[in-house]
Structure 1
Amino acid sequence: MSAPTAAAEITTDSLLPWDDTGRPWIGGRFTEAAGPTVDDHAPATGERLARVQLAAAEDVDAAVAAARAAQPAWAALSIRERAERMEALADRILATVDRIGRLDSRDTGSPLTPMTNGARKGALYLKQIAGAALELQGRTIPASARGWHVTRREPWGVIGAITAYNHPTLYSCQKSGPALIAGNTIVIKPSEQAPLSTLLFASLTEDLLPPGVLNVVPGHAEAGAALVAHRDVTRVSFTGSVATGLQIQRTIADSGRIKSLQLELGGKNPIVVFADADPAEAADATVRGMNFMRVQGQSCGSTSRLIVHRELRDAVTEEILTRVDKIRIGLPEAEGTQMGSLISPVHRDRVLGFVEAGKADGGELLAGGGAPADPALAGGAFVSPTVFAGVQLGHTLAQEEVFGPVLSIMTFTEDADAIELANATEYGLTASVWTRDIDRALRAADAIEAGYVWVNDVETRYTGVPFGGFKQSGIGSEQSLLDDLEQCTRTKAVNIAVR
């Protein structure tokens, strides 16, 4: 794997919207917080990027209070006006997209181009959902002979959003766009592992959104729990792990408040390759679906279980290993880098623990399994793209989400066995099916227990198509425009007697 060349020096300070320390964005400005000030480090190098003051529970209270105070006037604006503000925010993101992409690349360890593209995608999503705003409509119901029976969509009030570290700017757009267009206000808690771009995102709303409409509280689990439990937060939207999703449900129950809830959680996603598929196409799809070259496999949608027909196993495996060997691992901003570092040394060690578990279970390690040999990368949280063959149903790598660059290869002989393997986990987020037989493809798509299924495609997510999971992979969906808006509202029925 060849090493990319170094990028031109651009200081992190020049990318940040503050001079010394990043602080929570509350009431339309950066504010002094009660939480500790910590150093935010680049996972690819270990260098300090910035100082950030984290929010404590009292800062979350202040953010929610600001959001609650701002919500009535914000909801009183027409939906068209709220949508226009989101379009204007999208334009500001697009004008700053290179800066945001570079900041996300440094903060997450992912390559520069995917992070820049992710910020651009978030801005375009804001434009698209703004365009769908007027489709948020009520109904007229002929429930009686003379009366009028109508429904209207009303905002929940204050929405609490907790985002993951792998796509910070994209998640900021996807959480805030529908919430704000629908008339809610929002408090976002970004991952403490990559908070910088979310604070930059908030600063772009200055003089565009009224103070308190959008707030950001970087912090640890204490801040997240305070946001979830707050009596004035009526809806919670979370992207992250199943364990944290379960904790959010417990926290809501313990708070004694009924809340609307959306959870986008983990996946152990299958890519099923039937005997009539093209081996080269299937290998391309497998490598692409693993997200080695976007976020180092750190994606809930990664197709990390290749379930391939026994007749194609050797040909597809050989093609995969050829492609994996050509992936260029390097510093995130270096020219030619295709794969960067994991989010932290702690997560790197967790992923390597899964590698050891795969070996202990009897899997055959075909590629990777450790850090790359390049000494220039020794200071970062790097793991080479890893491929295991011979993975069996009861193995750890067949059941547990690694959230890293580890692909497991399993085999089948009969179509029914492939479906059984695909469904044999607690997860049900995505799946990919490869075959030239349309009947087989449709049977598989029907039978696989997943919320988002590709046929002869993988990884592409289409705006307007709902993305969400079955089983332990979540509740609700995102990215579907009108559905996104409707989930950020509740229905009120109005019955008018005609005398």
Structure 2
Amino acid sequence: MHEPITGRMLIGGNLVESEGGQWLDTIDPANETIIGRVPLGTEADVDTAVHAAEAAQKLWVDVDIHQRSQLIHKLADAMLACSQQIAELETRDTGNTIGPMLRDVQTAAERMRLYAGLGYEIKGETIPATAMGLHMTIRVPFGIVGRIIPFNHPIAFAASRLAPALMAGNAIIIKPSEQSPLSACILAELCAELLPPGLVNIITGNGATGAAIVRHPKIKRLAFIGSVGTGMAIQRAAAEVAVKTVTLELGGKNPMIVCPDADLDKAAAAAVRGMNFTWQGQSCGSTSRLLLHDDIYEDVLSSVVERVGKLKMGDPLDPKIDIGPMNSNAQYEKTLSYIQIAHQEGARIVAGGGRPEGIAFEKGFWVQPTVLADVNMTMRVAREEIFGPILSVLRWSDIEEAIEMANDVDYGLTAAIWTKDISRALYLARKIESGYLWINTVGTHFRNVPYGGMKNSGVGSEEGLEELLSYTQIKAINLVA
């Protein structure tokens, strides 16, 4: 049995409690026991962090790219040195299994190093506007960036996303999710040790804490990963106080289209992998709609069900386990309600469908990996993001029908295409309204490839050079002889 952890916020280089003196408990979703607490950050805490960030950024902007890069590398090294500690804590805090959590720490470090190396690409242009003049642009930082992190990849998003903001010359204020905030407290300790005071501030809290960041007039650049509803609320709230640049990486109801000529065995394995069952489906890029051609529907469905049946649920700290509990009771109840709705609307439950049996699952937020067959586009499970371990399987007979089904949702984040016909693959890639597409693969986020959505799935791109440049503004300078 582990002792509960007491985390601290990072403000102005100091590890502190909230000015309001209140705390948030965080629980282990596997057994519903309290495993730690973090400060409930207030509007006053945010204001203190903004003043600290403002002072730090005025000094940081004069630090050259090489020195910025060295500090980012040192932070990545320090994070990797305690990767086991971070991964175990995140496993207990999120419900995600230990293997993926270890990879998240490694992924975060890799992305930090990517941006440390991309700093020299923060370039301007020269423009021949006049024959005798010198007309040029430079890129300058916003000043202070506000970053709000979701619960599913806490350290991966918090650590990797601070790197481009800092490399571009900004200070940053990060708010982790109240559902899984503990690893951010370790990141706070590392930043306090390695970075200039006030450059990175980490404030724990709830929605009101995030709102204080969004609405602070001195934070001109905001970035958010989470639900569509919250993203829209951030846009509204930000616009009420100042003109701000806001990027959003939001939800998805992502299709995976399998054509009759595809390698069906690989496609079935990819369907299970792309659904992110090892994250309990709690990943915005999950290909949660499997669109199968009539001729292969039953064969691929049968293979998918067989593979899902082999996934092991249990203690997420056990490296042999594939699936842990869902992150929270709210996610648990939402997922079960969608399974019931799907059944009422005519879907056929061919795998999973409820809470697993056994003494190990008497407490906690456990939902079996679930596959629904005979789903059509009139059903809610085909149109609404669930953020749970539910794969909906649909049928199509004509390529244009598949395209219409893929696009007939408000989302457009990811999509996967499976076919051996390169012409068909490229045709589908052009026609499908998604920002990030895979062809004959699924799930991987490739380094320096921009990741972002269309339609209600977001604004802007992350994980590539575009994200780094998005933390800068263009200034034009004209020198005329």
Q: Which TM-score applies when normalising by structure 1?
A: 0.95
Question: Does the residue aligned with 1:233 lie in a helix, a strand or coil?
Answer: coil
Measured against aligned partners, the alpha-carbon deviations of 1:18-53 in whole angstroms (never above 9, x if no partner) come to xxx323211112113115213211111112111222
Bigger drift between 191-200 and 21-30 goes to: 21-30
Work out which of the residue numbers 369, 373, 377 in structure 2 matches 1:393. 377
Confirm whether residue 342 of structure 1 aligns to residue 326 of structure 2.
Answer: yes
| Counterpart for residue 123 of structure 1 | 109
Instruction: Say how many residue pairs are matched.
Output: 480
Question: Does the residue aligned with 1:428 lie in a helix, a strand or coil?
Answer: coil
State, as a whole percentage, how many aligned pairs show the same letter: 44
The answer on whether the counterparts of 1:35 and 1:56 sit within 8 Å (CA) in structure 2 is no
Measured against aligned partners, the alpha-carbon deviations of 1:90-116 in whole angstroms (never above 9, x if no partner) come to 000111111111111110000001011
Question: Does the residue aligned with 1:132 lie in a helix, a strand or coil?
Answer: helix
Give the Cα–Cα distance (whole angstroms) in 2 for the partners of residues 66 and 374 of structure 1: 51
| Pairwise CA distance, 1:12 | 5.5
Mapping of residues 290-439 of structure 1, within 5 Å = 290-293=275-278, 295-439=279-423
Measured against aligned partners, the alpha-carbon deviations of 1:258-289 in whole angstroms (never above 9, x if no partner) come to 00111000000000001111221111010000
Measured against aligned partners, the alpha-carbon deviations of 1:121-166 in whole angstroms (never above 9, x if no partner) come to 1011111110111111111111110111111110000000000010
Question: Does the residue aligned with 2:128 lie in a helix, a strand or coil?
Answer: coil
The answer on whether the counterparts of 1:328 and 1:339 sit within 8 Å (CA) in structure 2 is yes
Give the Cα–Cα distance (whole angstroms) in 1 for the partners of residues 140 and 281 of structure 2: 39
Give the Cα–Cα distance (whole angstroms) in 2 for the partners of residues 487 and 405 of structure 1: 33
| Structure 1 runs (4+) greater than 4 angstroms displaced | none
Give the Cα–Cα distance (whole angstroms) in 1 for the partners of residues 31 and 70 of structure 2: 40
The answer on whether the counterparts of 2:30 and 2:364 sit within 8 Å (CA) in structure 1 is yes
Measured against aligned partners, the alpha-carbon deviations of 1:287-320 in whole angstroms (never above 9, x if no partner) come to 0000002x11100000000011011000000000
The answer on whether the counterparts of 1:175 and 1:237 sit within 8 Å (CA) in structure 2 is no
Bigger drift between 338-347 and 308-317 goes to: 338-347
| Counterpart for residue 282 of structure 1 | 267
Give the Cα–Cα distance (whole angstroms) in 2 for the partners of residues 190 and 32 of structure 1: 15
Question: Does the residue aligned with 1:462 lie in a helix, a strand or coil?
Answer: coil
Mapping of residues 168-183 of structure 1, within 5 Å = 168-183=154-169
Bigger drift between 445-454 and 363-372 goes to: 363-372
The answer on whether the counterparts of 1:467 and 1:477 sit within 8 Å (CA) in structure 2 is yes
Q: Name the aligned partner's letter for residue 127 of structure 1.
A: R
Give the Cα–Cα distance (whole angstroms) in 1 for the partners of residues 184 and 331 of structure 2: 21
Mapping of residues 5-44 of structure 1, within 5 Å = 11=2, 21-33=6-18, 34=20, 36-44=22-30
The answer on whether the counterparts of 2:148 and 2:225 sit within 8 Å (CA) in structure 1 is yes
Give the Cα–Cα distance (whole angstroms) in 2 for the partners of residues 386 and 183 of structure 1: 46
| Counterpart for residue 443 of structure 1 | 427
| Counterpart for residue 5 of structure 1 | none
Q: Which runs of 5+ in 1 are unaligned?
A: 1-8
Work out which of the residue numbers 452, 459, 473 in structure 1 matches 2:443. 459
| Counterpart for residue 224 of structure 1 | 210
Question: Does the residue aligned with 2:61 lie in a helix, a strand or coil?
Answer: helix
Give the Cα–Cα distance (whole angstroms) in 1 for the partners of residues 362 and 462 of structure 2: 38
Question: Does the residue aligned with 1:427 lie in a helix, a strand or coil?
Answer: coil
| Counterpart for residue 186 of structure 1 | 172
Mapping of residues 73-112 of structure 1, within 5 Å = 73-112=59-98
| Counterpart for residue 265 of structure 1 | 250
The answer on whether the counterparts of 2:15 and 2:188 sit within 8 Å (CA) in structure 1 is no
| Counterpart for residue 487 of structure 1 | 470
Measured against aligned partners, the alpha-carbon deviations of 1:374-429 in whole angstroms (never above 9, x if no partner) come to 32122111100001011111100010000010000100001100000000100000
| Pairwise CA distance, 1:333 | 0.2
Work out which of the residue numbers 37, 40, 44 in structure 2 matches 1:51. 37
Q: Name the aligned partner's letter for residue 467 of structure 2.
A: D
| Counterpart for residue 126 of structure 2 | 140
Give the Cα–Cα distance (whole angstroms) in 2 for the partners of residues 374 and 359 of structure 1: 24
Measured against aligned partners, the alpha-carbon deviations of 1:201-222 in whole angstroms (never above 9, x if no partner) come to 1110123211110011111111
Confirm whether residue 114 of structure 1 aligns to residue 100 of structure 2.
Answer: yes
Question: Does the residue aligned with 1:46 lie in a helix, a strand or coil?
Answer: coil
Mapping of residues 225-264 of structure 1, within 5 Å = 225-255=211-241, 257-264=242-249
Give the Cα–Cα distance (whole angstroms) in 2 for the partners of residues 144 and 38 of structure 1: 60
| Pairwise CA distance, 1:497 | 1.2
Question: Does the residue aligned with 2:257 lie in a helix, a strand or coil?
Answer: strand
| Pairwise CA distance, 1:190 | 0.5
Q: Which TM-score applies when normalising by structure 2?
A: 0.98
RMSD over aligned Cα, in angstroms?
1.1
Q: Name the aligned partner's letter for residue 377 of structure 1.
A: F
Give the Cα–Cα distance (whole angstroms) in 1 for the partners of residues 79 and 287 of structure 2: 30
Question: Does the residue aligned with 1:61 lie in a helix, a strand or coil?
Answer: helix
Give the Cα–Cα distance (whole angstroms) in 1 for the partners of residues 49 and 21 of structure 2: 14
Q: Name the aligned partner's letter for residue 280 of structure 1.
A: D
